[in-house]
Amino acid sequence: MNQSSNFQLSIDELNAIAEIEATTNILKLIVRLTGLRFAAIVKFCDKDWVACSVNDEICLGIKDGERFPLEFSMCSNLLADPSNLVVGCISESPAHKGNIAAQRYGFESSISIPIFLRDNSLFGSLCVLDPDANRLEEREAVDVLVIFAKLVGSIFQWHYDHSYENGLVESDMAV
């Protein structure tokens, strides 16, 4: 991806989300599977993350296309260490209890699963949160989330590939 594509969602990215009703269903499945009540597909930009698709059962009010500073995100940990992050009780985790997002929004449970493109560049994450502590010890659930993240990454990659084939450029920005 070129540097200009890292500021906002491109038309191709919005189309990928809009055309794939499956993203809504994936987020609903994630909420049911984990017991956490907020799930989103987010894109990491230079200083922000952008909500691509959201299932918000705790009424945070976050809408598709909204931007937030990375430091107000539990998912931003993936920028330094792009591996799965599963925290069942943030206030009891020495490594995470000082997280600005957790303190600001009162989250106790967090799952961040990286979304990669074909070239292994980090696109964003599946971000799953809840204000209640939750035992997130089921390995099978995390394995399913990893599969969902790969599916979402493949969807974006397919749209990028086809936009180039059709002469469209990724720098055409919509948000």
Residue at 120 is within a domain: yes
CATH number for the domain spanning 120: value is: 3.30.450.40
DSSP state of 37: S
Residue at 171 is within a domain: no
Question: Is this structure's pTM higher than 0.85?
Answer: no
Per-residue pLDDT reduced to its tens digit, 45-93: 888 989 988 999 998 888 888 998 887 788 888 888 999 999 989 999 9
Residue at 174 is within a domain: no
Number of domains comprising the chain:
1
Domain extent, residue 117, equals: 3-165
SS (H, E, C) 93-149: CCCCCCCHHHHHHCCCEEEEEEEECCCCCEEEEEEEEECCCCCCCCHHHHHHHHHHH
Residue at 173 is within a domain: no
Quick one: what percent of the chain has pLDDT higher than 70? 82
Q: Please answer whether residues 12 and 157 qualify as being in contact, where contact means their C-beta atoms are separated by less than 8 angstroms.
A: no
